[in-house]
């Protein structure tokens, strides 16, 4: 976003989360002020570390569903990065209202706060799950019809629609990013934390959902943030839509084997069977990323390298914790 590059204040929702905290640290070197709104349901205060220059973000603990609690945070801001989301997609199966409230309605409240405060720009973290069970691989941004198979995906698609409508109706510039599986430090949910937790509970057996043949693209958080920053600085249409993923895939079977190997290689892997890991899961995902590559972006790590690096980090954090140190 041009205003971010010029140093205006920016707001980051979900800024204490796994992706948001990495973004915040980068924004601290660009914006005059970074304001984080997070309800700390999955984000953590300790994720908000100072920039290399020692600058710190301002944290406002608030619920996006209660706009009166954070409306003033938007005053004088030049941009909003809306990353707040449900980190555990499967929760929507047991409570269908979660994604509506935490995804679609929360996005509406953010857009209304922007409109009232005349904030001109928004960047939004959407997801590859809006494509549903795609039949074209790699899947381009133009693919359709979009038929999401999870309530999380439906909420993301609805939020995209709201953002597009606000851009057209109120002159807001929007950047929408459809993420592949983003992994890195500070994760609390996802395949790697889930597998680590299962082995913690039972070091002899690792249950893997599905048949292990599910294959998806994995992107490191740092690459994801770099892509968002680059796109917001170099694309200037009223609505700018980008896939953000990797050039390849890695299977669930391969990931399970890597996790077992990191834990000593003794655990037995048991697959639950079936094409999908869980209801609403998309068994295959590979995004076309030519559009953002044309701006000069490319991931530093491929999917396997991203997984290896993240496993190494998680094992290091576990060793530090076991030694009585503090995870950073």
What the block records as the tokens of 73 is 């945070």
Domain of residue 211 covers: 191-216+248-285+302-322
Closest CA to 22 of 287, 264, 225: 225
The CA distance from 167 to 160, in Å, is 11
What the block records as the tokens of 260 is 């077992």
278 and 165 fall within a common domain: no
With respect to residue 7, please indicate whether it lies within any of the assigned structural domains.
yes
209 and 101 fall within a common domain: no
Place of tokens 């980190």: 87
Q: What confidence tens digit (pLDDT) does each residue in 213-250 have?
A: 999 999 999 999 999 999 999 999 999 999 999 999 99
Place of tokens 């920039």: 51
State residue 147 phi and psi, 5-degree precision. Answer: -130, 75
121 and 268 fall within a common domain: no
306 and 230 fall within a common domain: no
Place of tokens 């899961």: 281
Residues in the chain: 328
With respect to residue 39, please indicate whether it lies within any of the assigned structural domains.
yes
In this structure, the dihedral spanned by the alpha carbons of residues 28, 52, 309 and 87, taken in order and rounded to 10 degrees, is -30
pLDDT of residue 324: 74
Query: What are the angstrom distances between the C-alpha of 324 and each of 130, 317, 318?
Result: 42, 11, 10
DSSP state of 324: T
Residue 19's H or E segment, with its range, is helix 18-27
315 and 259 fall within a common domain: yes
- Residue 108 near residue 164 (C-beta atoms within 8 A): no
142 and 256 fall within a common domain: no
- Residue 12: beta bridge partners? 36, 81
What the block records as the tokens of 54 is 């020692």
The strand pair at 181-183 and 218-220 is best described as: parallel
pLDDT of residue 320: 85
Q: What confidence tens digit (pLDDT) does each residue in 112-131 have?
A: 999 999 999 999 999 999 99
The CA distance from 217 to 179, in Å, is 10
pLDDT of residue 66: 96
- Domain at 78, CATH number: 3.40.50.720
Give the residue ranges of the chain where pLDDT is below 70.
1-7, 325-328
Query: What are the angstrom distances between the C-alpha of 115 and each of 8, 77, 78, 84, 174?
Result: 17, 11, 12, 18, 13
Q: Please give the tally of structural domains in the chain.
A: 2
- Domain at 313, CATH number: 3.90.25.10
144 and 202 fall within a common domain: no
The CA distance from 102 to 79, in Å, is 21
155 and 263 fall within a common domain: no
With respect to residue 291, please indicate whether it lies within any of the assigned structural domains.
no
With respect to residue 297, please indicate whether it lies within any of the assigned structural domains.
no
């Amino acid at each position: 976003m041009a205003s971010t590059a010029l140093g205006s204040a920016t707001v980051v929702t979900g800024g204490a989360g796994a992706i948001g905290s990495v973004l915040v640290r980068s924004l601290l070197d660009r914006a005059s002020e970074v304001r984080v709104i997070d309800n700390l349901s999955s984000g953590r205060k300790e994720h908000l570390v100072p920039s290399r220059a020692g600058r710190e973000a301002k944290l406002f603990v608030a619920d996006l569903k209660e706009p009166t609690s954070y409306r003033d945070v938007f005053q004088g801001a030049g941009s909003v990065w809306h990353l707040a989301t449900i980190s555990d997609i499967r929760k929507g199966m047991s409570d269908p209202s979660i994604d509506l409230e935490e995804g679609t309605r929360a996005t509406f409240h953010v857009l209304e706060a922007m409109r009232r405060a005349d904030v001109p720009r928004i960047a939004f973290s959407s997801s590859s799950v809006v494509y549903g069970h795609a039949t074209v691989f790699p899947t381009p941004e133009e693919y359709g019809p979009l038929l999401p198979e999870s309530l999380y995906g439906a909420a993301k698609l609805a939020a995209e629609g709201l953002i597009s409508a606000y851009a057209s109706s109120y002159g807001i510039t929007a950047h929408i990013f459809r993420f592949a599986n983003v992994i890195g430090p500070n994760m609390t949910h996802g395949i790697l934390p889930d597998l680590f937790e299962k082995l913690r509970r039972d070091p002899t057996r690792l249950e893997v959902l599905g048949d292990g043949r599910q294959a998806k693209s994995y992107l490191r958080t740092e690459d994801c943030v770099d892509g968002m920053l680059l796109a917001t600085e170099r694309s200037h249409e009223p609505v700018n839509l980008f896939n953000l993923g990797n050039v390849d895939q890695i299977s669930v079977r391969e990931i399970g084997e890597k996790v077992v190997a990191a834990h000593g290689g003794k655990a037995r892997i048991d697959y639950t069977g079936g094409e999908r890991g869980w209801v609403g899961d998309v068994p295959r995902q590979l995004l076309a990323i030519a559009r953002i590559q044309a701006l000069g972006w490319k991931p530093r790590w491929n999917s396997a390298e991203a997984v290896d690096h993240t496993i190494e980090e998680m094992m290091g954090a576990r060793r530090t914790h076991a030694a009585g140190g503090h995870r950073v």
